[in-house]
Homo-oligomer: A and B are copies of this chain.
């Protein structure tokens, strides 16, 4: 795949780009790119796409660098996350990822009812509703497709309050456990 010789920034161009980057510019849009390009062309041959790619790459590699630093710092946490992933979050039957290049998705099926400080979420519909303590049932509304049945009121999973390490077993929950596919193990910054 022979590409034409790639752009090699002159020191002047590089310094200007770095200044702009340091100044906070990260993702210039086309009009700005064109203007920058026009100015940089005073110092050497350059195209808009060079500017575009430069910012993309510089930003990405900045993140990458910081990510590497942080993941060293947070190695323990990373291992902990692996533990979570391996032993708690990942449904065994999802362990083989059929997608070739690491594609992962989050299955949204299954349902659970979550009560949190009066807020209840019914995940079978994707909606949620507010549940007032003391009242049987107050108000319901939904985010998606209007299938909420507020009458059912199955608050079978209650948490909160007290030391979080004391995890009430949700095995009594008759719904399938919500799981995630493989978590990416990278650290996210910003």
Binding site for B on A (CB under 8 A): 10-12, 15-16, 18-49, 52-53, 56, 70, 73-74, 77-78, 80-81, 83-85, 88-91, 94-95, 97, 99, 103-108, 110-117, 119-121, 123, 157, 159-161, 163-165, 167-171, 173, 177-181, 183-190
CB distance from A170 to the nearest CB of B (A): 4
| Cα A77 to Cα B23 with chains together (Å) | 13
Which single residue of chain B is at the shortest CB-CB distance from A180?
Answer: B23
Contact call B33/A188, Cβ cutoff below 8 A:
no
Contact call B49/A160, Cβ cutoff below 8 A:
yes
Contacts of A169 in B (CB 8 A): 38-39, 42
Contact call B188/A49, Cβ cutoff below 8 A:
no
Contacts of A25 in B (CB 8 A): 80, 106, 180, 187-188
| Cα A107 to Cα B56 with chains together (Å) | 18
List 6 additional contacts besides A35-B88, A47-B160; criterion CB under 8 Å.
Answer: A23-B185, A29-B73, A31-B74, A32-B178, A45-B103, A48-B114
CB distance from A92 to the nearest CB of B (A): 11
| Cα A163 to Cα B16 with chains together (Å) | 19
Contact call A48/B164, Cβ cutoff below 8 A:
yes
- A46, A49, A108, A188: most-surrounded residue (chain B CB, <10 A): A188
